[in-house]
């Protein structure tokens, strides 16, 4: 549908500081399907708005390649 937002919420274990949050944010912004990224460090989660659908495994691999553990991805 036109104007429909695709939002994913990713819970991450291992993010402890602003440096961690920035690292995750920058890596996710490199993915072409990602429109915007908002890291909420206190809740250890990331809110992503997508331009188009993407497989959760791509998001998970991107984060886990940085050394963090993806606990859950909510669509």
| CATH of region 6-74 | 3.30.70.100
SS3 37: strand
Mean pLDDT, residues 27-46 taken together: 97
The two tokens of residue 45 are: 């989660």
Angstrom distance (rounded) from CA 5 to CA 19: 28
Percent of the chain at pLDDT exceeding 90: 92
Angstrom distance (rounded) from CA 24 to CA 15: 9
Q: Which residue has the higher pLDDT, 75 or 19?
A: 19
pLDDT of res. 13: 97
Number of neighbouring beta carbons within 10 Å of residue 42: 8
Q: What is the average pLDDT score of the chain?
A: 94
- Report pTM: 0.90
pLDDT of res. 1: 47
- Please report, for the chain, the start and end positions of each structural domain, with discontinuous segments joined by +: 6-74
């Amino acid at each position: 549908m036109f104007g429909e937002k695709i939002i994913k919420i990713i819970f991450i274990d291992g993010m402890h500081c602003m440096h961690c949050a920035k690292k995750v944010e920058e890596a996710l912004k490199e993915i072409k399907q990602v429109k915007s990224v908002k890291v909420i460090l206190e809740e250890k989660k990331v809110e992503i708005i997508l331009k188009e659908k993407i497989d959760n495994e791509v998001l998970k691999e991107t984060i886990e390649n940085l050394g963090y553990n993806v606990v859950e991805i909510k669509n």
